[in-house]
Amino acid sequence: MLWPTEAIAEYGFEEGVYRVRSGFVSSAGKRLPDQYLSYAFCRDSAGNPTRVAAAVEGRVYVLSLAGDVLLEVASGSVATELYCFADRILQVVEQKDASASGTARLYDLDQGKQITVPKTLQGSADVSSVDAARYFAQALVSGSGVVPAQQGKLYGYRDLSGSWVKKPSYDSATEFAAGKALVSADGVWSVVDAQFKPEPQTYASAEPLLWNDVTVWLLSSNGLLKAFFSDTFEQLTVWEEMTEFEQWGEWVFVSGQSSIFNIATRRWLDLPSGFQSRPGEFAISPDGRQVFSYLTAEIFDLPAGLTLLPVEQSLLNRHLLECVDRQGYPVLLSVKGKPLPGTAVISWEGQQAAGGIYYWARVGTHRGLLNADGQWIYQESRFTTLED
């Protein structure tokens, strides 16, 4: 596994937008320097990481999970964003300044060759270059053979040669997945099949939630709210009389529910009786002394002498629980309730990897990786910042 690391931010565009340089540490302790302007994990059909696309100045590489360079896919590219479609296609977005929408190119992840988007499907006044490339890549990966296309204010579908297979007649239209797509016309939403035949059930509204490569569409109808996933278009859950919800990372909090929904696993998680959800990945007991961790699905006691920091004062890193001790000094707890070393912390970033949660931490002149038990699994005794 490769764990991302993060260097001190540097100024990017003239407007003062921050860019961050990232590096990696492999599970074998191999350290890749903080030189990558952007990166994206490629994943298999089960969502497991397989390799990493990473961009430095002028080049984009594909790295193994051991940190070795497998191939170079783009030379002369100033990539500001990378996106992997399954484990097959890489989208490289180049943005020259903070106000521009950027241009996009597609590459085959196995051979490193550029994939040409037909001219009739490339960016236009109605569809950006980035969206056009994304539609084309998703059509190749899903095997649907069609992409949503806009003409004026209406959407239709073109085949991969650019010919219209469904002339514009929709107010909105999504990509196809598993032979289905979501469209709207005259304020009514419906699911259509590959022949654009709508299913009998219609919906009054559609709300998208985003998590990694998947969009979850929440479709409401007559007091019910159904969840459809953009990669399968299967209906996996129904909420009754739902009025409010909030997304926090991969979790969806639903008003009036004693459970929360996980977008990644597509399952419900029951909260212990009386526990109240807190922004992030924790729920708190009524007396404030016990904590339920969503990721471990276990309850731990708040260590003696510690008090939870009020939500309005918290930075709300979803993998960290922020507390203060009796002297008012900050103490950070992991998802397992373990104190993490140091109080003079420059930066913390909780990441979820195949081996669980880890934390990239800087304490004094030390930095490295901590596991959820608060133990160093990789450590550098001295380091140099970009300013140095």
Q: Which residues pair with 208 in a beta bridge?
A: 217
Does the pTM surpass 0.85? The reply is no
What Å distances lie between residue 23 and 2, 6, 255, CA to CA? 9, 6, 40
DSSP annotation string for 60-115: EEEE-TTS-EEEEEEEEE-EEEEEEETTTEEEEEE-SSTTS--EEEEEETTT-PEE
| Burial class, 163, CB count within 10 angstroms (exposed 0-12 / middle 13-18 / buried 19+) | exposed
Are 292 and 272 contacting, i.e. CB atoms less than 8 angstroms apart? yes
- Taking alpha carbons only, the member of 326, 321, 317 closest to residue 350 is 317
Q: Is 268 exposed, middle or buried (CB count within 10 Å of its CB: 0-12, 13-18, 19+)?
A: middle
CATH class of 1-115: mainly beta
> DSSP letters along 323-353, please?
EE-TTS-EEEE-TTSPBPS-SSEEEEEEEEE
Task: Give the model's pLDDT for residue 291.
Answer: 95
Run of H or E residues at 137:
helix 129-142
**Residue 10's pLDDT is what?**
39
Q: With a cut of 50, which residues of the chain have pLDDT below it?
A: 8-18, 98-99, 343-347, 384-388
Residue 197, CA distances (Å) to 160, 190, 193, 209, 379 in order: 20, 10, 5, 25, 58
Tokens of 295: 């990721």
**Domain parsing of the chain, residue ranges:** 1-115, 122-203
Amino acid sitting at position 68: D
Task: Give residue 108's pLDDT.
Answer: 94
- pLDDT, residue 6, reads 64
Q: What is the DSSP string of 167-210?
A: EEEESEEPPPBTTBEEEEETTEEEEE-TT-PEEEEEESEEEEEE
DSSP letter at 302 equals P
* DSSP secondary structure, 202-261, as one string: EESEEEEEEETTEEEEEEEETTEEEEEETTT--EEEEEES---EEEETTEEEETT-SEEE
Task: Tell which residue, 65, 44, 63, has the closest CA to residue 54.
Answer: 63
C-alpha distances in Å from residue 13, one per residue of 80, 95, 383 = 11, 10, 26
